[in-house]
Structure 1
Amino acid sequence: MDTTRTAFGVRAAPVDEMSIPHILVVDDSPEDVRPILLAIKAQGWRISLAHDARQGLQRALVLDPDLILLDVQMPHMNGFTFCRLLRESDETRATPVIFLTSAGSLEQRLEGLKTGGVDYVLKPYEPLEVLARMRIHMQLQHRDTVESGESVVAANSDDELLLRAAVRYISQNLRDLPSLQEIARSVGTHDKRLSKLFREHIGVTVFAYIREIRLRKSQELLSDGNMSVQDISDWLGFGSACNFTTAFRRDVGMTPSQFRQQAKGK
């Protein structure tokens, strides 16, 4: 049997490097992650580092790590935006992301899970606990991959990732959408670039797209549910039932009530 020698003696057999877990750590504060880096190295796992989210996203797409440890508050792009973009790539959408951060408000914790994180650990942390959580999520991911039998190989441009992330963000926040600038910031770009992407790839402005999605969703709710017109208006962020009715009539050619009656065959 072939053996390999380490600083601590002889290891029984060489290990296929690709079978060793590969962890990407994205954090702009090296001292904060030093304890977990030492703990990961002690496991013999591979580590890649990134000191900001943009660099981390590039490395995630290229290296395809088994798990990502991610800070929230970083310059240029925060961890939530990173995670949104990560979830829009075919290569990384299933990669487990554990937030390891001092951003501990309830709103921030919920945002981390909403954007695709599988776990949320606050600093200061216990390295052994983080390791245990990492093992659990890598085991779960391995089981899901084996059961599904999926092997996705695809290339996504930056424009595609931004557009997908923006479309998903809009869909998830129809009720209370922020400004165009804030939508753009949430997916890691600026309003002019986002507007250009929508015009080039979808053929409409961002606001026209939002209006179309709201009206399309309203038709689904009117056809399949029993929500009142007022509730649908509130839920989709039209501001008032009057605004909703006016927009709906202009686009569909009838009032929401008339559409519901027709959809249900009355």
Structure 2
Amino acid sequence: MSVQDAHILVIDDAPEEIRSLLQALRAQSWRVTLATTAQQGYQRAQLLAPDLILLDVRIPGMDGFALCRQLQELPRVRHIPVLFLTSAASPEERLEGLSQGGVDYILKSCEPAELLARVQIHLRLAPRPEASAPAMPDASSPSQDEVILRAAMRLIGRRLSEPFTLEQIAGAVGTYDKRLSAIFRQRLGMTVFAWIREERLRKSRQLLMETELGMQEIAETIGFRSACNFTTAFRERLGVTPSQYRKAARHDTPAAMDAVGA
């Protein structure tokens, strides 16, 4: 694929607001496909595997940030550059878009020439999939429930220190709380918060072995209020204190690690 032959997917529920930008894109030699709902955008991204995606943020049902997180979990799609094209202009929204996988953040008020220049840059920089990649999603493509699960696990893993409600996690990955709970129970055999607890303790074991951080620092890094709460949870789960675990890990003997439940 050359830059001139690129296929661009635009996901925006109000395309009339960006008519001049769409006209500028279509005036190039690029193929432009439009999706007007998040679910339609998800399906078309997976089916068509475009070369670049322009994604609005404020989309009813599932916002652009959540959709971007889901797209990152699709093997055929995760390499595709996502550029947010939106009127959501706050610094917090810009940072959110760039930190969750977007390669650029462009305001709808921009001049068409600016949009074209940015699109051209990212088309040139975009990684190319293997030539042997299938033209259509195969039977091994993850279901949307699997995509939501992976997106939730990745989001939580990146933000272990932050307090989450179930509703916040679900909304951030494009679903609702009861569905997310059901996905975790069906696929992992535990609740969302049981998994978070396990992930925090897994991360704590890594930090105990690989860093010199103190107990309070580790507790804050993985989302416990205090070193005391962290120590209590660690001992209840593994039968030893974090300090005992670190000492055994530093000795690096199989018997010692077995003794602390590693």
What is the TM-score normalised by the length of structure 2?
0.89
Instruction: Report what 1:145 is aligned to.
Output: 128
Question: Residues 88 and 164 of structure 1 are in contact (CA less than 8 Å); yes or no, is this contact kept in structure 2?
Answer: yes
Is 1:30 equivalent to 2:15 in the alignment? yes
Is 1:94 equivalent to 2:94 in the alignment? no
Is 1:238 equivalent to 2:221 in the alignment? no
Closer, same or farther in 2 for the Cα pair 1:61/1:177, shift >3 Å? farther
Instruction: Report what 1:114 is aligned to.
Output: 99
**Range 80-89 or range 19-28, more displaced:** 19-28
Provide the rounded CA distance (Å) in 1 between the counterparts of 2:250 and 2:142.
42
Q: CA deviation at 1:20?
A: 2.0
The percentage of aligned residue pairs carrying the same residue is: 53
1:51-94 CA distance string (max 9 Å, x none) = 12222111111111111111101111110001000000011111
Instruction: Report what 2:237 is aligned to.
Output: 251
Q: CA deviation at 1:123?
A: 2.6
Question: Residues 18 and 108 of structure 2 are in contact (CA less than 8 Å); yes or no, is this contact kept in structure 1?
Answer: no
Closer, same or farther in 2 for the Cα pair 1:65/1:149, shift >3 Å? closer
Q: CA deviation at 1:149?
A: 7.0
Which consecutive unaligned segments of at least 5 residues does structure 1 have? Answer: 1-15
1:214-264 CA distance string (max 9 Å, x none) = 000000001110111001101111111111000000111111111112211
Query: What amino acid maps onto 1:157 in structure 2?
Result: S
Closer, same or farther in 2 for the Cα pair 1:250/1:149, shift >3 Å? farther
Query: What amino acid maps onto 1:151 in structure 2?
Result: A
Query: What amino acid maps onto 2:226 in structure 1?
Result: S
**Range 58-67 or range 83-92, more displaced:** 58-67
Q: CA deviation at 1:150?
A: 7.5
Question: Residues 170 and 177 of structure 1 are in contact (CA less than 8 Å); yes or no, is this contact kept in structure 2?
Answer: no
Is 1:197 equivalent to 2:179 in the alignment? no
Instruction: Report what 2:52 is aligned to.
Output: 67
Question: Residues 100 and 120 of structure 1 are in contact (CA less than 8 Å); yes or no, is this contact kept in structure 2?
Answer: yes
Provide the rounded CA distance (Å) in 2 between the counterparts of 1:116 and 1:150.
25
Q: CA deviation at 1:185?
A: 1.1
Provide the rounded CA distance (Å) in 2 between the counterparts of 1:262 and 1:226.
14
Is 1:208 equivalent to 2:191 in the alignment? no
Residue 175 of structure 1 aligns to a residue whose secondary structure is: coil
1:125-175 CA distance string (max 9 Å, x none) = 11111111111111111xx327x7783764221111111111111111111
Residue 74 of structure 1 aligns to a residue whose secondary structure is: coil
Closer, same or farther in 2 for the Cα pair 1:33/1:234, shift >3 Å? same
Residue 39 of structure 2 aligns to a residue whose secondary structure is: helix
Aligned length: 248
Instruction: Report what 1:262 is aligned to.
Output: 248
Provide the rounded CA distance (Å) in 2 between the counterparts of 1:204 and 1:255.
24
Provide the rounded CA distance (Å) in 2 between the counterparts of 1:220 and 1:150.
38
Is 1:167 equivalent to 2:153 in the alignment? yes
What is the TM-score normalised by the length of structure 1?
0.88
Residue 145 of structure 1 aligns to a residue whose secondary structure is: coil
Query: What amino acid maps onto 1:246 in structure 2?
Result: T
